[in-house]
A = this chain, B = another copy of it.
Amino acid sequence: MEKYKRMLVEKGIKPTFQRIKILEYLEKHHNHPTVDMIYSALYKKVPTLSKTTVYNTLGVLSKHGLVSVLSTLDSEAHYEYNFNSHHHFICKVCHRIIDIDVPCTFRQYVEELGHKVEEVHGNFVGICKDCMEKQYE
C-alpha cells in the first residue's frame, strides 16, 4: 500500500485508492493483463470500481512511465508494470505473453540514424513451448 502510494506521489499523481490498487496489481501480476482482466480481478476487493476508471488510470500511469502498453495483434490492449525493458513471446495457441530476456543493442543503432527512441517493443510470435509439447501427447 504505502509503497505504491509513494510511487504515485513521486510522479505527482494523486494516490487514490483505485490507482494504488491498480498499480499494485500490475506490480504483483506479470501476466500482461487487459483492462478487463484488471477490472475482474479488482472488482472483488473494490466493488465500486468502474471500468472507465481502469482505462483512465492506465492512461495516467502509462503517461508517467509507470506502466507500458504492449503492441500485440490482439483486439484488446495489454499492460505491464515497467520493470527493466524486455521482449515478449506471444503464443498463437494459448495467447499467453511470455517475457523474453535478450541483450538487444539495436536501440543505439537506431538513435544513430537520427531517430529519438523512447520505447523498444520486441515480439516473437508463434507457438509456445508448452503448446508445442501438448501437440504430441
**Chain A residues in the interface with B (C-beta under 8 A):** 69, 71-73, 77, 87, 89, 91-92, 98, 100, 102, 104, 106-107, 109-110, 113-129, 132-133
Contact = CB atoms under 8 A, between A and B. Distances in A.
Given A116-B128, A121-B122, 12 more contacts: A71-B71, A73-B77, A89-B113, A92-B118, A100-B106, A100-B110, A110-B124, A113-B129, A119-B125, A121-B123, A121-B125, A123-B123
A106 B122 contact: yes
Contacts of A71: 71-73, 121, 123
Contacts of A87: 106
Nearest to A128: B115
A120 B110 contact: no
9 contacts: A71-B123, A73-B77, A113-B129, A114-B128, A116-B126, A119-B124, A119-B125, A120-B124, A121-B123
Contacts of A109: 102
A122 B107 CA distance: 11
A118 B126 CA distance: 5
A117 B106 contact: no
Contacts of A113: 89, 100, 129
